[in-house]
A and B are shown apart, each in its own frame.
Chain A
């Protein structure tokens, strides 16, 4: 049942990402908690949401350029981390999250390849539409537009649960076989989170981004430490 839900969530996200609406619901920051919620662990989804959003802040569809498929990878990574957390008990930890990330992230690249296949298939739809119009079926011609939503849904619905399964299996077996890896993997997750924040800052392409990034971090750190000391 969990994998079926993952497939539905991934398929809908793939549709929302480009073909319909584009309301940020397929961005990692919204999709990871939704995926966690679908699997019964909203808090677990939130653990991976912010770093994945910042890592892929620059994954945008500019002109004809295809970005990585961040939605597909987000569902796979979140699903892998949540399912591993449920198998091990204790929910999503930094250790399960980083293993699910390392296993599931390549799906973002695979998803981009799949998007190219979808574009070729959509060319055929456009040709069919022109043919239908020549045969005086205008309504049928334009409704072929909606058929373009099917393939992205199917691809994401098939790949994301598979990625989540592999991620959860690797994380569960690794941490069962070597529980002492939990600590080092936790540090690896923090390091990844630091890089994700830097990737977000870089993706925004602002002038003097490096300086603003450093100042923002230092100011927030001082405020956070000050608040911590005050309480």
Chain B
């Protein structure tokens, strides 16, 4: 038996709640069981077999929430075979255990430390230069990318099972992530320049002052953070020092 499209869509929707009850014991275990439940309902008419299947998906699970859709899709792929008697009940568990670690690492490295920060930097620069429209555009574009990838991974996991690994490898996500990180850093630099120019308000004397303040804070701040300075004290120190320096010199920073 194969799972109808409508049920698979229901499972995909529930994947969006994967971390609703994240906990240190089973991590995303409850979220995984919640996501896959409609598929198990469709596959197992016998309540005892259904409960047995659900119980195996209440075990420990943790992965990147976007990449996990590939594993949910693949788990359904294996459950169809378990229900048909073609595979032992341990097959979906083995699939999950094998893939969750590597896919978590790929997802963290691509989505959390590259793609999302990159779009965050795009939106921040857009907000400084253009306005709220740029923020909306960046957030919409990010979601088109991430939701498309989530849906594609779910579909690939369901259709290809273990072969989804090859598909993910072909995406070359680590290489793309490196480029996104470098571009994001350049955008942060451009944002610093935009802050200085906005603060100067087009008046040369004020622009020089603003550029000096922003450049000093950004340069010294970067060096301090790169040497391990904690972020919060650094932010307070910079804001207070900037205020005190202006108060002592009598410069009000107005354009």
| A and B interact physically | yes
* A residues near B120, Cβ cutoff 8 Å: 24, 27, 29, 53-54, 57, 200
* Distance between Cα atoms of A51 and B67 in the complex (Å): 30
Contacts of B202 in A (CB 8 A): 228
- Could you tell me which residues of chain B, from 42 to 78, have a CB within 8 Å of some CB in chain A? 47, 50-51, 54-55, 58, 62, 65-66
What's the interface size class on B, roughly?
35 or more
Inter-chain contact B192/A189, CB cutoff 8 Å: no
Interface of A is mostly: helix
Q: Are A136 and B51 in contact (CB under 8 A)?
A: yes
A219 and B104 contact, CB distance less than 8 A: no
What is the minimal beta-carbon distance from B253 to any residue of chain A, in angstroms?
Answer: 4
A160 interface residue (CB < 8 Å to B): no
Q: How far is the CA of A221 from the CA of B192 in the complex (A)?
A: 9
Other-chain residue from B22, B125, B236, B251 in contact with A18 (beta carbon distance below 8 A): B22
Q: Are A20 and B16 in contact (CB under 8 A)?
A: yes
Residue of A nearest to B16 (CB): A21
Interface-facing stretch out of B91-99, B162-170, B216-224:
B216-224
Quick check: is A141 within 8 A (CB to CB) of the other chain? Answer: yes
By beta carbon, the residue of chain A nearest B127 is A50
- Asked if B173 CB lies within 8 Å of chain A CBs, one says no
In the complex, chain A residues whose CB is within 8 Å of the CB of B226: 202, 210
B214-A191 in contact (CB<8A): yes
Q: Give, as a whole number of angstroms, the nearest-CB distance from A95 to chain B.
A: 9
A-contacting 9-mer, from B2-10, B82-90, B135-143: B135-143
Q: B217's contact among A101, A119, A194, A216, by CB below 8 Å, is which?
A: A194
**How far does the Cβ of B237 sit from chain A's closest Cβ, in whole Å?**
9
B25 interface residue per 8 A CB criterion: yes
Select one of B182, B196, B235 contacting A195, CB under 8 A.
Answer: B235
How far, in whole Å, are A24 and B142 apart by their CA atoms in the complex?
A: 8
Tier of interface size on chain A: 35 or more
Nearest to B181 among chain A residues (CB) is A206
B149: which A residues are within 8 A, CB to CB?
none
Task: Please state if A186 and B254 are interface contacts (CB–CB under 8 Å).
Answer: yes
Q: Which of A33, A61, A122, A185 contacts B112 (CB 8 A)?
A: A61
User: 0/1 per residue, B139-165, Cβ < 8 Å to A?
Assistant: 100110011000000000000000000
Complex contact A188–B54 (CB within 8 A): no
Q: Are B17 and A142 in contact (CB under 8 A)?
A: no
1/0 contact string of A121-153 vs chain B (CB within 8 Å): 011011101100100101101111111110000
Measured between beta carbons, the chain A residues less than 8 angstroms from B127 are: 29, 33, 46, 49-50
A91 within 8 A of B: no
Cβ 8 A contact of B51, one of A127, A133, A186, A202? A133
Q: A54-B188, A191-B217 are in contact. Are A62 and B181 (CB under 8 A)?
A: no
Given contacts A24-B143, A101-B239, A183-B246, contact A130 B189 (CB under 8 A): no
Identify 7 residue pairs between A and B in the complex whose beta-carbon atoms are under 8 Å apart, listed by A's number: A145-B17, A193-B217, A195-B234, A198-B218, A210-B222, A217-B218, A221-B193
- Which A residues form the contact surface with B (CB < 8 A)? 18-25, 27, 29-30, 33, 42, 46, 49-51, 53-55, 57-58, 60-64, 94, 98, 101-102, 105-106, 109, 119-120, 122-123, 125-127, 129-130, 133, 136, 138-139, 141-149, 181-210, 212-221, 224-225, 228
Q: A23-B143, A30-B123 are in contact. List 14 more A-B contacts (CB 8 A).
A: A19-B20, A24-B142, A94-B199, A141-B58, A144-B21, A145-B34, A187-B252, A190-B195, A190-B199, A197-B192, A200-B188, A204-B185, A209-B181, A220-B193
